[in-house]
Structure 1
Amino acid sequence: MKKWKKEILLHVPIEFAWSYFYGDISKKKKIFPKVVDEEIIDQTEEIIGTMINQSYQNGSLIEQYEITIKKYTNEPNYKAIQESFLLNNRFNMTTEYELVSQGDKITKFIYTSINKPKNPLLSIFQLFGSDEVIVNFLNKAKTAIELDFEQLQNNEEL
């Protein structure tokens, strides 16, 4: 099993950032550009346990993943969603996106990814994994979210 946990500050209000992780597929695509679509398969009232079919573009192929929401918190100063899915029928993946308000226009974004191979032999390859993909994702998410917020602010000033 391999676990990565990284954080970055976003210069946007927590409510603005939250829509990129839950609820708005057009915004989600800005930080997850390979996501093609999402369809709720089974919606639970408390969100936890909801199952989503996600279409994901991988080169010329479109792959389907069944995502289950394992954790969901939507409070004024703290928001989190944890999802789990089976990646390529080889890895049980758990991803968590946490947002913590640090003020009116600053939000701490914490990303956690747990990658557990179905086959123990694949664990050996994880020893050589780096956090480069995680760091790149955080930086791209920060840029996309902050740029959208800046454009919104500029439009409101007009």
Structure 2
Amino acid sequence: MKKWKKEVELNVPIEFAWSFFYGDVEKKKMIFPKVVEEAILESTEQVVGSVIHQTYQNGSLTEQYEITIQKFVDELDNKMIQESFVLNDRFRMTIDYELQRVDNKTTKFIYTSLNKPKNPLLSLFQLFGSDEVIVNFMNRTKDTIENAYKTTAD
């Protein structure tokens, strides 16, 4: 099992940043450019337990996942969505996207990922894993959300 945790400050209000993680698929595609589409398969009133079918384009390969919402918080100063899915039939992924209000114009974004291999032998390969993909995602997310905010403020 491998756990990644990274955080970065976004120079935008929490409500503006939240729309990139929940509620607006077009904005979500801006920070997840490989996501082609999402469709709700099952919806619950409290969001937890909802299932989303996601189509993902990775080069010439089209992948499809069923993402289950495990946790959901939508409070004034704290927002979080936890998604769970199986990646390539090899890893059970649990990912948290958490936003915390620092002040009216600043939001802390915390990304946590837990990758649990379905085959114990795959755990050995995780020992040599790099956080480069996560760092690139965090940088792209910060740049994308802040640039989108600047265009709305102009």
Task: Say whether residues 1:107 and 2:117 are aligned partners.
Answer: no
Secondary structure at the aligned position of 1:114 is classed as: strand
Per-residue CA distance 1:75-131 (angstroms, 9 max, x = gap): 010000000000000000001000000001100000000000000000000000111
Aligned to 2:18: 18
Could you tell me how far apart the structure 2 residues matched to 1:20 and 1:45 are?
21
Could you tell me how far apart the structure 1 residues matched to 2:107 and 2:135 are?
17
Could you tell me how far apart the structure 1 residues matched to 2:62 and 2:74 are?
31
**Please, what is the CA RMSD of the aligned residues?**
0.4
Task: Say whether residues 1:82 and 2:111 are aligned partners.
Answer: no
Per-residue CA distance 1:25-47 (angstroms, 9 max, x = gap): 11000000000000000001100
Could you tell me how far apart the structure 1 residues matched to 2:71 and 2:38 are?
18
Identity %: 65
Gap regions ≥5 residues in structure 1: none
Large movers: runs of 4+ above 2 Å = none
Aligned to 1:52: 52
Matched letter for residue 57 of structure 2: Q
1:58 CA drift (Å): 1.1
Matched letter for residue 42 of structure 1: E
Aligned to 2:9: 9
Aligned to 1:63: 63
Could you tell me how far apart the structure 1 residues matched to 2:45 and 2:25 are?
20
Could you tell me how far apart the structure 1 residues matched to 2:118 and 2:102 are?
38
Could you tell me how far apart the structure 2 residues matched to 1:105 and 1:87 are?
35
Q: TM-score, normalized by length of structure 1?
A: 0.97
Aligned to 2:127: 127
Alignment length, in residue pairs?
Answer: 154
1:132 CA drift (Å): 1.2
Secondary structure at the aligned position of 1:48 is classed as: coil
Could you tell me how far apart the structure 2 residues matched to 1:143 and 1:112 are?
19
Gap regions ≥5 residues in structure 2: none
Secondary structure at the aligned position of 2:116 is classed as: strand
Could you tell me how far apart the structure 2 residues matched to 1:58 and 1:135 are?
19
